[in-house]
């Protein structure tokens, strides 16, 4: 166990919390559930998990004070955030899934995946992620690994924010994004078996992608 590294996992009622806790523990790191913003003090790395509705989750983050607290620490450069699935989508400004705004930490919006022949929603299953060539040296995973997806909405954002994509029908959906202090993944590393644990371990113990 890496006793000197403690990962905060934000509890804002968006589900899948304890799957992430168990994955962090299986990756031989310490996980602490953060139930209120004051508990962020002293934490340099946190995970924003999420399964469920964008609007419900964004309202919960705002009303609980987590949105303001995370934004302040991010601006000060004192915290780094990994967003998983809905957690990644909440980094952005808005979503078609509801009227409530996102956290606005990154420019872009979340849109429902367009259906086409052969495309069934939600988009569920193991898919190989295509990392952007210029970003690959910074990615702490093997470029041919597959990860588990489960979503009906996808991020639309500037190309410079995109780390990886995943093919679906005639589209190429955003699978990972980054900005200073932020890394977001649309897939679920906590549900992706050995590749997911390797991703979590490597990312959480070295943060070159966040620069």
Query: Which residue among the candidates 94, 97, 123, 188 is catalytic per the annotation?
Result: 188
Indicate the SS3 state at residue 77: coil
Q: What's the rounded Cα separation, in Å, for the pair 87 and 81?
A: 10
Active-site option among 67, 94, 97, 190? 190
Q: Is 85 a catalytic residue?
A: yes
Q: Which of 100, 62, 86, 110 is nearest to 184 (CA)?
A: 86
188 is known as an active-site residue: yes
Distance CA(24)–CA(116), nearest Å, equals: 37
- Catalytic residue check, 157: no
Q: How far apart are CA 192 and CA 148, in angstroms?
A: 5
Catalytic residue among 67, 85, 123, 157: 85
DSSP string, 18-32: HHHHHHHHHTTEEEE
- Whole-number Å distance between alpha carbons of 10 and 47: 6
Residues belonging to the chain: 211
List residues with catalytic annotation: 85, 188, 190
């Amino acid at each position: 166990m890496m006793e000197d590294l403690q990962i905060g996992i934000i509890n804002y009622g968006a589900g899948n919390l304890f799957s992430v806790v168990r994955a962090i523990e299986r990756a031989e790191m310490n996980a602490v559930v953060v139930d209120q913003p004051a508990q962020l003090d002293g934490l340099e790395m946190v995970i924003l998990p999420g399964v469920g509705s964008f609007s419900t989750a964004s309202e919960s983050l705002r009303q609980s004070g987590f949105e303001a607290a995370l934004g302040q620490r991010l601006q000060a450069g004192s915290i780094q955030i990994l967003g998983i699935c809905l957690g990644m989508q909440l980094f952005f400004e808005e979503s078609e899934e509801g009227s409530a705004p996102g956290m606005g930490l990154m420019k872009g919006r979340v849109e429902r995946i367009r259906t086409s022949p052969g495309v069934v929603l939600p988009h569920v299953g193991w898919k190989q992620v295509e990392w952007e060539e210029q970003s690959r040296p910074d990615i702490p995973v093997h470029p041919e690994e597959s990860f588990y997806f489960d979503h009906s909405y996808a991020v639309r954002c500037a190309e410079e924010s995109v780390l990886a994509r995943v093919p679906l029908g005639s589209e190429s959906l955003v699978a990972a994004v980054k900005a200073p202090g932020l890394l977001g993944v649309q897939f679920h590393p906590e549900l992706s078996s050995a590749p997911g644990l390797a991703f979590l371990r490597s990312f959480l113990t070295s943060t070159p992608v966040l620069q």
